[in-house]
Structure 1
């Protein structure tokens, strides 16, 4: 798979950041939510294609808007289960990309 096409990881990091911010009672502004989206997108592009790599890059997303890093400990409890769905989304994105390219270059 293409490591630049990590859609599931980007979505996971953004949703996890919003969840942990809500859990800690942090009200995120529109600008902070946009910053989470941008940071999660770029962090997922730079993430290695290994299991649970999103946990490492999630620290970048959390620190970009001031969410406590202790919240990652809560995410670790369910990360193994969610990793399967992230992988499925990433592979689906790779399949769609390959199909689009195959249509244009026959």
Structure 2
């Protein structure tokens, strides 16, 4: 597998992580069978994509980027879809996470 494909899979894993978190919110503690199934399928897909990415990328970098993409995306999902607060301190912290993810990508060798 090429390095660009590994990065694409890592980004996909991060986006699947966001979708998984949203499905977890909607499954209401696994009390809604449809959303519970969706959340489990998304979890399996994100682990598969992450597992393929770490075959090529350094595991520390891949894990940090995956969690960063997931954290930023899930926070954005919470702001947009679930009405969570968007105060300046919270947005600043998300910006710092984004800076870290970008820095890891730029320094990956």
TM-score relative to the length of structure 1: 0.36
Q: Which has the higher helix share?
A: 2
TM-score relative to the length of structure 2: 0.35
Q: Give the number of the structure with larger relative contact order, counting CA–CA contacts within 8 Å between residues 6 or more apart.
A: 1
